[in-house]
Amino acid sequence: TMTMTGFQDFIDRFTRGYATSKCYAVDAAMGNQNLDPRGYARSVINSANGRNPGYLDAPMLWFVHHHVTDAEGWAKTMDNLATKISKCENPSDVKGVEFEEGYGCPFSLMLGEKDVVCLWSAPEGTTREKFLEAVGRFTNGATLDIPYEINDEYSWNVANLAEDNYSIDVLKWAKSTKRMNMKTIAGVGAVAYQNINITTQ
């Protein structure tokens, strides 16, 4: 089994000093049913041949790192959200309960007790400021939110993400007494990493 230190070393070798990377162990994931190594490789090949369809469910895609700064507030927000979602009969009802109009989410990773990373969908033309306002209303100010706009045409495997799959997982989570939906990717222990660009001389 690869340790976190071993994985960090692997990523550092992979990026060859062109980026500073911070690795996280993934405790739980939502929306990853269609993600596997084969699909990723297919996406890479399609991109190389100019056939990457990008994200299919919405016009814009954002990545956001939620760092929990108010644990009590975050827990209360998630409990309230789970209570509302648990009343849904079908996954198709979840999006309208969880997000305000125009926004959604196809994928989330829980990284310990203080960090969550998500892909959010947004209306066409959403600015960073407008996006942060929407995220702030969702988290009720319990997190420090760091957003990145995604160019989905140059992103691999995003076409295999679907907000319907995410809603299925969220509904299971909301109706579960444990409220945890542990998953791995194709049976492999899931680990996430985030690249942070640095200036090279």
Q: How far is Cα 26 from Cα 50, in angstroms, rounded to an integer? A: 32
132-158 per-position pLDDT tens digit: 999 999 999 999 999 999 998 889 999
4-50 per-position pLDDT tens digit: 999 999 999 999 989 999 899 999 999 999 999 998 999 999 889 98
Question: Is 120's pLDDT higher than 90?
Answer: yes
Q: How far is Cα 168 from Cα 26, in angstroms, rounded to an integer? A: 19
Range from 65-79, 116-130, 148-162, 176-190 carrying the lowest mean pLDDT: 176-190
